[in-house]
Copies of this chain bind each other. A is one copy, B any other.
Amino acid sequence: MTLDFELKTRDGRARRGRLTTAHGTIETPAFMPVGTAATVKAMMPEDVRATGAEILLCNTYHLMLRPGAERVAKLGGLHRFMNWPGPILTDSGGYQVMSLADLRKLSEEGVTFQSHLDGSKHLLTPERSIEIQNLLDATITMAFDECTPYPATEDQVATSMRLSMRWAKRSKEAFKQRPGYGLFGIVQGGIHPALREESAKALIEIGFDGYAVGGLAVGEGTELMLSTLEATEPFLPIDRPRYLMGVGKPSDLVGAVARGVDMFDCVLPTRSGRTAQAFTRAGTLNLRNARHAEHPGPLDPDCRCPACRSYSRAYLHHLTKAGEILGAMLLTRHNLTYYQDLMAEMRAAIEAGSFSAFVEAFRSASAAVVAEP
């Protein structure tokens, strides 16, 4: 193992840890903002860091097409390219390639697909995915997998999962180990506990620096997601970080931390920031709503972010109505701050052995509010 993971304490299934990498440490449970095209949209990287983020996720699919992995390598790697010296996790490209539908073709070898940008043809295999992530200089590389479509029959899910496990083995073989860098495997198996168990065991047999749970948050709903997670977690190694991919809403993060997850990524806080949605301790606000037009107070009086310290809801309403870039900038910063503060509160609660009280309080607060249209 080339990534050091210290499990500091547990509170129930919730875990408080620290991941040490070549590019810095990550306190877990951690939320990774998404920097799809080598930028967390509408944010300066130092401002992303100031929200509390310690690691970003970037997308292999987008970066291999534009600007290209070889070009990023020539320019000194992704950290230097995007001015983020901290850890970066790259996905494998598998998820995005699968969502191309008619534009891609699957085989044992890998996936051939056409670029959504210019229609050019590409082949993505476990070996090429790992090579690209290495060219990008990813701190954490993800194994190449097939994200199983949902819904699917149990047979389809099993076939897909077993292909992903063969690809995981090829990913491991292709990965060049370096100190402080790591490779994560991805547990598949849909909503079927037996397949999840089989997948987890296959990955452990191969051996990874961390274990992701993939193929969730694809339409199965919160309940099935959490129950699948609950059924999967006992088969994951205690001493390695667990990463729930593409999740999620604040309540999903709380539910998943309670079920032993250490890492998350999701576009929700950044995308919401560009569509006038703000997460607050008193619920989700739609800043385009006319009821904010003359509101002199902040989004959230308890928030430390610049949007809350220096601007009224009325001003944010004005910016979003006028389509001003500053609206996206301020709301993204707020939402990322909200997410990072939520993670910090969960870490503190786990350390204090009061995580179940935290969950209780979080649920009561959430139940008391209704998101506005």
Question: A residues engaging B (CB < 8 A)?
Answer: 37-39, 41-44, 66-67, 71, 74-76, 81-83, 293-294, 296, 306, 310-312, 314-315, 317-319, 321-322, 324-326, 328-329
Contact = CB atoms under 8 A, between A and B. Distances in A.
7 contacts: A42-B329, A44-B329, A66-B322, A67-B317, A75-B294, A75-B315, A81-B314
A41 B296 contact: no
Contact of A76 (B37, B67, B296, B322): B296
Copies in the assembly, this chain: 2
Contact of A67 (B71, B318, B328): B318
B312 A81 contact: yes
Contacts of A318: 37-38, 66-67, 81
Going nearest first, the 8 A-B pairs with the smallest beta carbon separation are A42-B325, A39-B326, A67-B318, A83-B310, A37-B322, A39-B324, A75-B314, A81-B315
Contacts of A76: 296
A312 B78 CA distance: 12
A41 B324 contact: yes
B294 A74 contact: yes
A71 B293 CA distance: 9
A325 B328 contact: yes
Contacts of A315: 38, 75, 81-83
Contacts of A314: 67, 71, 75, 81
B37 A324 contact: yes
- A75, A293, A306 pick with most chain B CB within 10 angstroms: A75
Nearest to A330: B44
A293 B67 CA distance: 8
B319 A39 contact: yes
Contacts of A293: 67, 71
Contacts of A75: 294, 296, 312, 314-315
Contacts of A71: 293-294, 314
